[in-house]
Each structure stands twice: as C-alpha cells, then as structure tokens.
Chains A and B, each alone.
Chain A
Amino acid sequence: MSEQRNGHVRIGVYICHCGANIADTVDVKAVAEYAATLPGVVISREYKYMCSDPGQELIQKDIEEHAINRVVVAACSPTLHENTFRGAAERAGLNPFFVQMVNIREHDSWVHSDREAATVKAKDLVRAAVMRVYFHKPLEKRRVPIHPEVLVVGGGIAGIHAALTVANSGKRVYLVEREPTIGGHMAQYDKTFPTLDCAACILTPKMSAVRAHPNITLWTYSEVVSVDGSVGDYKVVVKRKPRYVHEDLCVGCLQCIETCVYKDSKFDDEFNLGLSKRKPIYIPFAQATPKVVVIDPDACIQLKTGKCKKSCMEACVERGAIDFAQKETYEEIHVGSIIIATGFQTFDPRRMPQYGYGKYPNVYNTLEVERLVNASGPTSGQVITRDGRVPKSVGIVLCVGSRDENTNRWCSRVCCMTSLKLAHLIKEHTGAEVYIFYIDMRAAGKGYEEFYQRVLNEGVHFIRGRVAEITDWALDPSEAGKLVARVEDTNTGFVRRIPLDMVVLAVGLEPQPDAHEVQRMFGISCSLDGFFLEKHPKLAPAPTYTDGIFIAGLCHGPKDIPDTVMQAGYAAAEAIALADTGFFELEPNTAYVVEEECSGCKTCVPLCPYQAVTFNEEKQKAFINEVLCKGCGTCVAACPSGSIKQNLFEDEEIYSEIEGVLAYA
C-alpha cells in the first residue's frame, strides 16, 4: 500500500453538522464549499453525523475510490471521536495518523452565537488543519505490555467491592487502607436505605472475604507514598505504619486491651466519633478486618515515655504479638493498573456557627446519630442526648454544607435519604416527634420514593425550609430548656420556631482533606469541587485521563452505596479488561532526539516530568524512552539546539497550522 498515491497529497475534508449542535450556529455548507477551494483538497463534504456508520463509510469510500490520502474532519472534540475517524481511515488502508480533527463544536458553535462570525472561525480552523495535515507522516502506535496485577487504594465499600471483583477474575490485587481496618464509612452506618438492612450484616461478609481471598494482599494501616511509571507498569511504594502488633501473630483475643494499665477507657474512640472512649491499645470495632489490635502511639505510655509496666505484653507473652520496637516498613510493588477508592469526609458543621454544633451538646451530625442508633454503638442503640435524656422532639436539618455558595455548592445526594432513614429509626427508637427541614426532597433511586412515602405516613413532619439558626434562648415558656430552630415553613409561609431536644445536622460530603496530594501523586485531575475527575461524565465515569488509573466511590463525588458498588464494579471490569488484553496502545506522539544535532547539554534531562529522558554517557547524547514519554513537549521546547522533535508536532506541522489560522479568508 502506498501512502501517497500518485505521489502527491490528496486531502478530503468532512464537515459534521452534529445534528443541530454545529449546524445551528455554523453554516456548514459554506465551510465545506470554502474547504474545497483550498490547495490540496480533492473532496469536501458535509454530513449530518460524521461519526455514524454512514458518515465513516463516506470517508472510507473516498479513500478507496478517490485515492484520498489525508483526512480532515471538522466536528466535535478529538477526545470524543479522534479514534473513531482514525479507525475509519485505517479500515480503508490509510495510516490513521493522516487524519486531523478540527473541533468546531466545543471551540466554535457551542461558545458563539453570531452565526456569521462562527462560520468564519470554522473556515479558519479548517484551513489550519488542511495546511497542517499536508505534512503529516505515517506513524505506528506503540504497544506496552500490561502487568496483570492491580492496586486498589482505599478499603471502604468501593475498594472492597473492586478488590473482590478483580480478585475473583484470577488477578492478584493489593488492597491498601490507611486505617487499621477496612470497612470505611459504611461500617459506621446502622441501617441502609431504603430496605433498612443492617450495614454490618451486608458489609462484614465482604470484609471477611477480602481477608480470606487467596488473590488479595491486604495492607491496612498503610499508605501509598509514591507512584512511578505508566499504564501497564506502575511502580508503587506503600508505607506500612507500625501498629506495634505483629499482624501475623495477633489472633484478636483482645486480652491485651483488658490488661492495659489504663483501667478506664479515656481516649476518644474514632469509630464512634468520640461518643465513646477506648484505651491506647484497641481494636476499632468488633468486626474489624483484620481482627488485629493496634496501639495508638499518642496515647500509649510505653511509646510516649518508655516507662510502662507493659501489662499488655505480659498478657500476650505466649504469642509475643506485641512489639514496641516495630518500625514502619516499605513495600514496592509493580501493578498494571490502579483503582483509587479513597472516599470522602463529612462537612464540619462548625463552619456554620448558626447551627451551634460544638456549642450546644445536643446538636449532632448524621454520622454521630448513625452510631447512636446502632445496637453495637456507644449507647447500645438507645437514642439518648448528651445530657442523658430520651428526646421528645428531634429536628433533622438538611443541606448543612451542601447547596450553599458559602460552603459547598453541590448537592451531596445521600443526605435526603439518610435523613429519611434516621427519622424512621429515631421515631422507632424513641417515639419522638421528628421534623425534617428540607429544601427539596431528593429521593431518586430504586425504592427511594416509596421509602419517602413510608416515612411521610409514619407522621414525620416535613418542613420545607432551610433552618436559619439553632438557638437556646427561649421566647416562650414552651421553649425553655430546649433548642429552638427558627425557620420559614415555606409551605405555609409562616416563620416558625420549633423547640427541639435534639438537632441532627445532615452534613454534606466533601473530598478528603488530602485529595489534592493524592491527585498529584497518581497524576490524575480534580474537578472544581475537589473530587477526582472522571474521563467522561457520562460515558467514562470510572476511567481518568491517566491511562490505567480508575476511580470508584465517593472520591469521585457524592453517591449512595448502590451507585458506589456499581462504579467499583465498573472500574474493576476496566482493570480486568486491560489486564486480559495484555497490552495497551500508546499514542505515537512521542518526542525523539535527532542524535547528530544533540550537543549533549543535558538541559532536557531534569525537565521531563515522566523521567523519560536519560543521558547516554557513552554517546554523550540525550535519549528518550518512548514508552515513558507522554508527549508533553517540554523537552522539545527546551532543547537549545532544536534537536528534539516530536511526532505529530513537527515544526513544519505546527508552523503551517499557525499560518493557516492567521491567513484570513
């Protein structure tokens, strides 16, 4: 097959209407007619949907019948359809890198309203592409092999589900969790909406399965500290923090906890959000996985002063699991892909002082109330306020740290349903009058609206209005000794004061505080809200822009458990598919050194963000590892002698493109 039949360039231009998306704002016909007049253009067409089968066939036919050897498609963004059109060219026997896309949708029709000007702009962009594609060269895609092993970061329900799915397909999985146990937030919940099955009952079997799975290596109390490499071969270093207990020796008998020199538990229990206390040596909760104790170095006398009688060690003398000399260790692994499932944090309602959280003891957040209604929680499931009363009236305030320009703009999606669930449970436990203060009740999900109906019929008061403030000053004798919510009941139009014994703030969900560090370490992006960014909001909601890295669960944005599990399964499927394919095709847009021209100045070497540039001491020339090169162009621009060039971004390609844009029609 000759790439340039008849020895000269024959360009085909295809203008897409994208239905009305482009055609409404750009005169596509005029653009096509104009393109036909450009030098080298043999055929110029417009079509309703170029990406459709007939659209692609149009290109293929022209290549075959009219010996077209360069293709310009003016349509949407290349991130969406570049591969589509390259595929069409390839099927017709043309090297796919003879295709150039022009984005006249996102860059033109969607952002302009003046039809005439938008049409001129489309012509300019098409002309630039025509002049550029003239200089394109045939290129080959590179293939890199895929390491079949997968890393899952985060051991909440998303990470657990992803790890099990990948492991069940026969691949080795490393599951890394920062806390001493897996389970994440879900382990703290009491019941799950809308079916009210207990969270522990459905979660703990999966936790045990992780522990028992032969293909899963579980590292709790561990953190990823560095990530190198690229798709197919990521080199990851994991720090394993010392728990001062040998995981392989501890059997979870918990006798050490009993014998600890602290007779009373006096440190805030993280799992119960400080609603109960624990000792310096502890297990987060009864079903913790692994069922191994951990010692808090900030609380343990031995670790703080070295002067404890170490009764825990005596209790464990036979097994010898306790080891105060334990140091952190580092594990280095190679994996082909990574699933990030690092979860979320809840909004700190202290940021909204008008709700009195932290000031009035009977103001709680939803997570605390989950523990309060839980049978294995700090009160064994009894709903008692901090001052020891069974509440007679409870108010649940929605959208605390959600839908608010002053804090977080997004809807946290789960709080409406969580509040319905808690309203039901509180009513069931206490018989209290329950008020839900909401702005909009969002119960979209299978069985959710039905659950809303159920709670409505249980007599919960639904007051449509965002609470302005929670106070403890009584304006009426009936309010004495109570908290009062002042709110406009927008359904009746009354401004109301509602006395409450207990206030529950339905706190919003936020990115983890270190999300940005994680994002940088893994080389992925964040959206404006700080959650990790998916590759496509509809069609690729688990892949990221970094090949081989997938996201699952709430690190990507607020979602409920079913959605989390679905996304985790999807991320796992992507990782499995990648491993099973065995290789990954890389864009050939890499940089290369023209050795004769390289002066050996080494300017480029430290600049490469991917460590792809090395220096060959023997030849005294720079060398670029094509597999590691991501085509960012930093070295190309930096090279003082101009000896680094880049495929698809050769000087003549770029200069003619610029000339094309600037040459007014």
Chain B
Amino acid sequence: MEPSAKYLYYPGCSLKGTGIAYEESLLTTFRLLELPIKELPDWNCCGATNYMSVSETSATLLAARNLALARQTGSRDLLAPCNACYLTLRKSQELVAHYPKIAHEVEQFLEQAGLPRLDSVRVRHVLEVLYTDVGVERLRELTVRRLQGVRMASYYGCQAVRPYGEVDDPHEPTRMDQILKAVGVDVVEYNLKTKCCGGALTGTIHDVGVRLNYILLKEAMRQGAQAIVTICPLCQFNLDAYQAEIRKQTGEPIDMPIFYLTQIVGWALGGDVRELGLHRAISGKKLIEQWFTVKKEAETYV
C-alpha cells in the first residue's frame, strides 16, 4: 500500500453522477485547505436505503466491504460526503457492534472475500470535518472573498443528523450556519433544516417528492433566502432539478440556486467557478452568474 492520506474519500454513486459538482467542489476545497485526500480504491455502493429494504444482512455486508477496504489503506478517517452513504456506513458499524449475529456474518464474509477484519475506521462527514478539524475561525481567516449581502438558508437534509451521526444537533443544527457566516454569507433563519427532501421519492412517487421540495423552497423564500446550501447530493438534486416543474404547477416565481456547502466554502477560499462545479446548476443560473463573476473590484473589499 502506498502511504496513506489523512482523509480517505468515499464518493458513493451520486458524486460520480448527478452530484459530480459536489465531488469537484469537495476536492477543490480540500486542496485549498491543504488537506490530503485520496479516493478509496475499488469502493462499492453503500447500499443506501434500498438495500436495507431488501436485506439487512446483505446491506451490512456491502457496507462492511468498504470499511474493510478503508482499513487496508491505513487511513482512519473515511469521508462520506453523501448523507445516505454517511448514515449507511455508520449504521452498519452500529449493527456490527450491537448484534453478534450480524458481526459474525460480516466476519465470515470478509474472510471469504479475502478482506481484513473491521477495525476502528471513523466514518466522517464533510460538514463535521470542516467544523471540527478545520474550525470556523480558521475558515474565517482563510476567506479571500465574500459573497457580501447574499442571503442563504442552510439545509441539512435528514440522514446526516439522525441517530447514527455526530454531524450536528438533530433538532437545531447550527454548524453550517456558523461556517457560512464565517465565510461571509448572510444566513437566514430556516426551520426546515432537517426536514426530509423525499429522497428517491421524486423518482418513484413523483408528485409527493416534488411537493416536499416545494415546501422546502417556499419556506426558504419566505425567510428571505436567495439560495439554499446543502450537504447531500440527493437533497441538492431534488431541490435543484424540479424548480421549473414547481413554477409551472404553482405559479410561484421560484428560481433559486441550490449549492453544496463545499461550493460556497471553496469559492470563499479562492476556487474558481468551473473547478467548483458551479456551472452545473440547473436552477438560479442568473444569480449564480451574478454572484460568482470574478470582478477585480469585488476582491478589493475583502
């Protein structure tokens, strides 16, 4: 094995597809923060919510393979930026820790597959790394340009703050707000921070999924937000992709950029539009163009 990076990056399927901008902005942000990061070789799908719906054991085995691979690299911190991946990997650790029967199955599988036994790999979320390992103050110091006067709502989605995580408080999370404020964004009050976006429902029971996202967007608007910042590829996708449809259905003038936290932080640290994937937005393109144009004078007021 080659020498290990501090952070082992577990992309999960979305960050290679619909959430590619998350990967781009994450890697850029980490580069700007000089945090060594490396992709987990030959990672497999975490299983997400779907696998758990079909087989608990198989779902755990699937997740366990990633944890075993992580151990092979020697890195302790497995970074899962997607909320679903984060929760699934942590949940599988809990299941192994609490249920000997499951632990036994996992052990057997890893042996058959020629993988090492599980060890204390820490599954981590981007928000938590930015908040804990880097720190709000450090981010404030490193900020080279500010999105002055831009009002944003922070949106966590569900799974990052729920039972298995330690990303933030499940009721009143504040860390994302703190980070956004530190890098110069005006953060609005937003009560739906941890309300579900519907996940895969937009693809299965479309009208229900879209309605949930309509509520999230509308409340953000009511609170005066011009954009929403997310930490999950599925949330970003759901909020971003269906705004045209919502406009058509409700007649409300919703056209709001939906960002990843790493895009906003990365921009503040000096990343450029393309390397942060800001050009991949579907909604709110006008505002994005307006905000993220590098003007000479814009940088002077830092």
Chain A interface residues toward B at CB < 8 A: 352-354, 471-473, 475
Contact = CB atoms under 8 A, between A and B. Distances in A.
A478 to B, nearest CB: 16
B171 A473 contact: no
Contacts of A472: 191
Contacts of B222: 473
B209 to A, nearest CB: 17
B215 A475 contact: yes
A354 B171 contact: yes
A472 B171 CA distance: 16
Contacts of B172: 353
A504 to B, nearest CB: 21
A475 B212 CA distance: 12
Given A353-B171, A353-B172, A354-B171, A471 B191 contact: yes
Contacts of A473: 191-192, 219, 222
Contacts of A352: 171
B108 to A, nearest CB: 34
A473 B189 CA distance: 12
Contacts of A354: 171
Contacts of B219: 473
Give the interface SS of chain A, mostly helix, strand, loop or mixed: loop
A405 B245 CA distance: 42
B171 to A, nearest CB: 4
Contacts of B192: 473
A426 to B, nearest CB: 26
Interface string B150-180: 0000000000000000000001100000000
Interface string B204-235: 00000000000100010010000000000000
Contacts of B215: 475
A276 to B, nearest CB: 28
Interface of B: 171-172, 191-192, 215, 219, 222
A354 B191 CA distance: 9
A353 B169 CA distance: 11
A353 B219 CA distance: 18
7 residue pairs, one from A and one from B, having the closest CB atoms = A353-B171, A353-B172, A473-B219, A471-B191, A354-B171, A473-B191, A473-B222
Contacts of A353: 171-172
A353 B171 CA distance: 7
B171, B172, B191, B192: residue with the most chain A Cβ atoms closer than 10 Å: B191
A472 B172 CA distance: 16
A79 B164 CA distance: 45
A311 B265 CA distance: 58
B101 to A, nearest CB: 24
A475 B222 CA distance: 11
6 contacts: A352-B171, A353-B171, A353-B172, A472-B191, A473-B219, A475-B215
Given A473-B219, A473-B222, 9 more contacts: A352-B171, A353-B171, A353-B172, A354-B171, A471-B191, A472-B191, A473-B191, A473-B192, A475-B215
A485 to B, nearest CB: 14
Nearest to A356: B191
A502 to B, nearest CB: 19
B49 to A, nearest CB: 22
Nearest to A351: B171
A354 B192 CA distance: 11
A358 to B, nearest CB: 11
A354 B195 CA distance: 12
B15 to A, nearest CB: 31
B166 to A, nearest CB: 17
A577 to B, nearest CB: 51
Contacts of B191: 471-473
B191 to A, nearest CB: 6
A471 B222 CA distance: 13
A353 B168 CA distance: 14
A354 B170 CA distance: 10
A354 B215 CA distance: 18
Nearest to B189: A359
A475 to B, nearest CB: 7
Contacts of A471: 191
Nearest to A474: B222
A350 B192 CA distance: 18
A352 B171 CA distance: 8
A353 B189 CA distance: 14
Nearest to A354: B171
A77 B215 CA distance: 62
A365 B172 CA distance: 20
A266 to B, nearest CB: 28
Nearest to B172: A353
A537 B215 CA distance: 52
A480 B192 CA distance: 17
A354 B169 CA distance: 12
A473 to B, nearest CB: 5
Nearest to A471: B191
B156 to A, nearest CB: 14
A472 B223 CA distance: 11
Contacts of A475: 215
For A352, A353, A473, the residue with the greatest tally of chain B CB atoms inside 10 Å of its CB is: A473
B4 to A, nearest CB: 39
